[in-house]
Chains A and B, each alone.
Chain A
Amino acid sequence: MRNYPSEPPVSSIGESGTDAAADTRITRLFESMRPDLLRFALWLSRDRALAEDVVQESLLRAWRSREALKDPACSRAWLLTIVRREHARLYERKRLELVSLDDALEHEGSALWSGDDSDIHALREAILQLSIEYREPLIMQVLGGFSVDEIARELSLSASAVLTRLFRARNKLRALYGLTTAPDGSGTEAPP
């Protein structure tokens, strides 16, 4: 069972009573996850500066509420959840300042993918072009390892709505490979 990040009062900083060794361990643990968190944030935000800010802020939040992390084995999911929430906060706050994907691609061009696998390159671009409502659950599931129920809880959606979004996300990506897309008879999403 995962434990999810709480939002503890800031006054908990420095009052935790945890000793230096424990703090060192948790610092190492958090820092070892930074590449994973940044990758997750980059796929969510499509903006390097924003992603770096999200990870930075998330690590600070995680550090402040480190006592809420009961089981270190759950730390990855716990931190990813904090990153997703922080991204949602910043996304809401800063959405008007964000560059469009087209702008980002103009600057970076083919640097999106330096490998020689053109299919994967195309897939990466296609994933980036998915709207956030489809990209977010897909990234949470594939990169984050979240179950449908966990995604539903986190996004305040019904499990059925998450299934629909995941299905539609993959269905859009199928077309890239020249595969027939499955009929989308799922209609509108069910409320949570």
Chain B
Amino acid sequence: MICEDARRLIGAEPSATSGELAQHLKDCHACAEFQLEMVALDVNIRRALEAPPAVARGRRRAPPAQRGWALAASIVLAAMATLAVWALRTNASLAHELVAHVVAEPQSWAGTDAVPEAELEDVLRKSGVILATTPYSVVYARSCWFRGHYVPHLVVRTPHSLVTVLLLPNETVAQRQSFHEDGLSGVIVPSTHGSIAVLAASSAPLDALAERMRLAERMQDNPR
């Protein structure tokens, strides 16, 4: 692969990780730097798109006759509002803190080489976690202080993109939650041992990875 092709691919999908591209990035410092710049730009593009643009009204709205849907939906939803607000407020905080944590650690997306197995085990051990298998290559592994506990913060290289995984043995969620914030999309799923958060800055099968991590996760008998 030549640099021009590599940069076109990176420009189209900054977090793309095809084998050929990964090999090129290993050998070409300039293109690797270009990818880092593009990933950073993409985070900002996501942040920019996060809120809708406050553009003006260009023309008259549709007649009220077409607004039946809104009225019907409002009536149906009225009864659900209180419960929804309560649930969202509880869950939004965890999602928000996860995003803030990941955004504050941008170097986590710069890893290209697989983390040595011993290093990964050490990170997991600090939180009393074992992974029976590690789906895809783990290119970043740190034990991070999050909500009063050390938790494994991993980045895995999937065929689609880099995906962040945080194993949260001390956080319980009742059901799957999804969120979009600061240019990141994520899901938090309940696991046998707390919960698992999976986040990415691009389209990625988050639920599939969360499920694989959930199935692989075990707890140590005597965590350190």
Contacts and interface: CB of A to CB of B under 8 A. Distances in A.
Interface string B55-68: 11111111000110
Contact of B52 (A24, A38, A107): A38
Interface in B119-163: 160
* Overall SS of chain A's interface: helix
Contacts of B55: 42, 46-48, 101, 104, 108, 112, 128
Interface footprint category on B: 35 or more
6 contacts: A24-B76, A59-B69, A104-B58, A145-B185, A166-B12, A170-B38
B24 interface: no
A4 interface: no
Nearest to A184: B8
Contacts of A47: 55-59
Contact of A53 (B56, B62, B180): B62
Contacts of A98: 58-59
Contacts of B192: none
A49 B60 contact: yes
Interface in A30-85: 30-31, 36, 38-39, 42-43, 46-50, 52-53, 56-57, 59-60, 63, 73
Q: Which of A52, A124, A128, A164 has the most CB of B within 10 A?
A: A124
Given A142-B49, A182-B7, A186-B8, A170 B58 contact: no
Contacts of B52: 38-39, 42-43
Contacts of A127: 45, 48-49
Nearest to A94: B59
A59 B68 CA distance: 11
